[in-house]
Amino acid sequence: MNSLPMHIRLMNQEDIDLIVRQFSAYNWPKPRATFTNYLQEQENQERLIWVAFYETNFAGYITLKWQSSYPSFSEQKIPEIMDLNVLPPYRNKGIATALLDCAEAEAFKKNPVLGIGVGLYADYGQAQRLYVQRGYIPNGLGITYDYKIADPGSMVCLDDDLILWFTKRSS
């Protein structure tokens, strides 16, 4: 059997500087405060963060937030997969799939429905396709900007805060 040279585990304090440094090396700045906050939320059982390593190199991470900031998910108590990121040299190696497997397995232990949001511009194309292939479907409520419904005719910025929301039911 041929297995990937990959290892996934929960994030710890020692990972923070490594994550920030690795993303910075690819011109993809990630504030240290984001991961410090994530770790605090993990300690408070509000979020889980998994980190992936390919061979011995940090490759990416994913988080699962138990209480979503998206009002529809929050009202329905749907946990949300957030912030799935894989560094460019480690893409197309099954890392995003493996990270999603971890987050989904944990989420479905507590809830039969899981949510995820995805950006709408081309940089999110791979993620959009991956989520649909994994059985996520749009929740039917349209798009949001900064967690607020984008009404017809409204002007919004096409950036990371313009999101289409999806859900998946456990099988």
Quote the mean pLDDT of the chain: 95
Rounded CA separation 107/68 (Å): 12
Domain membership flag for residue 1: no
| Count of domains forming the chain | 1
Domain membership flag for residue 12: yes
Q: What is the CATH classification number for the domain harbouring 22?
A: 3.40.630.30
Give the structural domain span for 38.
6-169
Q: Which residues, listed in sequence order, are joined to residue 119 by a DSSP beta bridge?
A: 163
Rounded CA separation 30/49 (Å): 15
Reported as a single tens digit per residue, the pLDDT across 3-20 is: 659 999 999 999 999 999
Q: In this predicted structure, what is the pLDDT of residue 7?
A: 96
Domain membership flag for residue 47: yes
pTM of the model: 0.92
CB-CB contact of 54 with 93 (8 Å): yes
Rounded CA separation 64/68 (Å): 9
CB-CB contact of 163 with 117 (8 Å): yes
Domain membership flag for residue 149: yes
pLDDT-based confidence at residue 133 (cuts at 50, 70, 90): very high
- How large is the average pLDDT for residues 65-94? 96
